[in-house]
Amino acid sequence: MNKITHRIYISGFLLISLFTTVILVYYGYSYYSLPIEERFFHPLYELLKPSGLLGHGFGIIGSIFMLLGVSIYMIRKRYKKIFRLGKLKHWLEFHIFLCSLGPILVLFHTSFKFGGLVSVSFWSMVAVVLSGVIGRFIYIQIPRTIQGNELTIDDLMRQNTSINDQLRTEYAIQSSTLSKLDDAGKFGSISRQGHLHKLFFLFEDKWSNYLLLNKLRFELKATGVEGKDLKILLKIIKTKLVLQRRIVLLSSMKELFRYWHVAHLPFAIIMLIIMLIHVGVSITFGYTWIF
């Protein structure tokens, strides 16, 4: 999957999720915005109530999406010799899509009414989604090869040296500018700070890099670099700045990712167990949708 195809792939997932949410809100707003006791008299009640044709369907389809999202990604991740189709990164993105769209549909299935044992499953689902967003953020901080394998600190150091050589030989970047870039990657005591502080540091460093790149843009223009060459050069410099940050934070991000797994998995298990109990009870009482 090339860069353009990958953007279409991601954009398609985003558009489907947004379109689905907008349509459901637009169609059912007059019903969902009513107090619970008044919904019985609404013309869409029989369709949108949790046991209704559409409401029940939202729950079934949303649950299937979540089960597929979890199971397909786990199979691809744990049994690579059996299931080699596609890169792990792309399957992770598909997992995120299904496990985002699924909860949206389940939310509309509940008609925004939570209570009893099901509420535990719902809030576990919310915790899974939120922790998934955080996990994705941490995941992309850990550099990987095209195949999805994690890079070591030595790999990153070699890449940084290679970029320095490229800037020096191909673009004749002055030693003073290279020193400025190297100094931007020396974070001193950050490696001894707590994990939460390091997460905040990521955002702070992104802003610092943005300011530095703007400053370098004007300096490079003053030396006669412009147009396409300037754009390529700034892209290489940005890669170097990100790489230096990742070198410093690599071990911390890997450790955070391990902690994240410990927190993410229990919520997912609780959600799935209660969801299956809910499905079993519903079938027992005859709520079988269109089947």
Cβ atoms 128, 264 nearer than 8 A: yes
82-109: b (≥16 Cβ within 10 Å) or e: eeeeebbbbbbbbbbbbbbbbbbbbbbb
Q: Give residues with Cβ within 8 angstroms of 144, minimum separation 6.
A: 89, 150, 151
- Calculate Rg over the CA atoms of the chain: 25
What residues does each domain of the chain span?
Answer: 3-147+258-284, 153-249
Q: How far apart are the first and last CA of the chain?
A: 39
Instruction: Indicate the range of 24-38, 55-69, 99-113, 129-143 predicted with least confidence.
Output: 129-143
pTM reported for the whole predicted model = 0.71
Residue 36, both tokens: 């619970």
Residue 128, both tokens: 């899974």
Residues 143-169, mean pLDDT to the nearest whole number: 77
Cβ atoms 39, 31 nearer than 8 A: yes
Nearest 5°: the CA angle 138, 268, 10 is 50
Confidence of residue 142 (pLDDT cuts 50, 70, 90): confident
Q: Is the pLDDT of residue 273 over 80?
A: yes
74-131 per-position pLDDT tens digit:
887 777 665 567 777 788 888 889 988 998 998 899 888 877 666 777 778 788 888 7
Cα dihedral 159→162→163→168 (10° resolution): 160
pLDDT for residue 185: 63
Q: What is the 3-state secondary structure (H, E, C) of 134-164?
A: HHHHHHCCCCECCCCCECCHHHHHHHHHHHH
Residues 257-264, mean pLDDT to the nearest whole number: 77
Q: Name the average pLDDT for the chain.
A: 81
